[in-house]
Copies of this chain bind each other. A is one copy, B any other.
Amino acid sequence: MTTEVKPSPRERLLEAAATLTYRDGVSIGVEALCKAAGVSKRSMYQLFESKDELLAASLKERAAAYVVTLLPAADDGRSPRERILHVFEQVESQAGAPEFRGCRYLAVQIELKDQSHPASRVAQQIKANLTAFFRSEAEKGDAGDPDLLARQLSLVFDGASARAGIGVDKLTGLVAPTVTTLLDTAGVR
């Protein structure tokens, strides 16, 4: 007989916050979150100081999976150019899923419109790590201007995921040629 480990109230709240805010936006109410998690409001407020803190924690919780899904493994033997292109192949592949709504860390910042909100700060940090990855690969790949290339790749990443997330572009035949052009111009072969 196997013993199923039931997720804790904390885990269920983090999961509900991540799922529902991604699908419906950050304005989702505390009642809906608690209902989806099967946790009382009283218990929620014992675990999290506020809905804002719950939201921030749910974004942090997803960060590890986000990195694993997007980034290549450290020292996978591929060139910086290939490692950068890998990230965009993942975005293109994710964008094909019907439930894709774009990058959750971009969306949450656009929705909150408050850079000092705890969830915005978590999102900023996670996206800054992505830009730092681009910056580091750009430098290893001898980009003429690694800072510029990192900013360009971050811009393409956000533009692509935003446009696919709202369903106006499927990204096919778009992201790879765009990134390739930027890598070529930067001298990353």
Contacts and interface: CB of A to CB of B under 8 A. Distances in A.
Contacts of A169: 151, 154-155
Interface in A152-187: 152, 154-160, 162-163, 165-169, 173-174, 177-178, 181-182, 184-185
A110 interface: yes
Contact of A166 (B23, B109, B157, B173): B109
Interface in A103-161: 106-107, 109-113, 115, 120, 124, 127-128, 148, 151-152, 154-160
Contacts of A165: 110
Contact of A158 (B148, B162, B177): B162
Interface of A: 23-25, 27, 101-102, 106-107, 109-113, 115, 120, 124, 127-128, 148, 151-152, 154-160, 162-163, 165-169, 173-174, 177-178, 181-182, 184-185
Given A155-B160, A178-B182, A181-B182, 15 more contacts: A25-B111, A25-B112, A27-B27, A101-B110, A101-B113, A106-B110, A115-B167, A120-B166, A124-B166, A124-B168, A128-B168, A155-B156, A155-B163, A155-B178, A181-B185
